[in-house]
Amino acid sequence: MEEEIDTAALGEKIVKVLKTIYDPEIPVDIYELGLIYDVFVNEDNEVKILMTLTTPNCPVAETLPVEVEDKVKSLKMIKDAEVEITFDPPWTQDLMSEEAKLELGML
C-alpha cells in the first residue's frame, strides 16, 4: 500500500519556503505581503501557486515568479512547481497580514 502524503504538512513546508522570499523594495516576505493568493498540491506532489505582484509594472515581475518556483521545487517531496501570476483581484495593502503592517509601521 502506498504511503499517503500529508498535503497539509506539505502545504506548511511550502509556506515556510515562501516566507523566505522577500519583495526587494519592501522588507516583508511575499507571503505576509499577501502576494500569494493560493497554493495547490495534487496527488503527484506537483504544486501550482497563484500569486500577484504589488503592481503590473513591478521591477521583479520577471525574476520573482522564477525564484518562487525554484525555491518550492527545492523541497525534496515536490515533483514540480508552477507559478501563475494574476492581477484579479489587484493587490492592495488590505491583503497584508497584521505582521506585515506592523513591520511597515502601518499599525
pLDDT tens digits, one per residue of 27-40: 899 999 999 999 99
In three-state secondary structure terms, 31 is coil
Mean pLDDT of the chain: 91
Are the C-beta atoms of residues 21 and 70 closer than 8 Å to each other?
no
Confirm if 105 and 71 have CB atoms less than 8 A apart.
Answer: no
- pLDDT of 18 strictly over 50: yes
Q: What is the model's pLDDT at position 86?
A: 96
pTM beyond 0.95: the answer is no
Q: Binning pLDDT at 50, 70 and 90, where does residue 5 land?
A: low
Domains and CATH numbers, the chain: 7-103 (3.30.300.130)
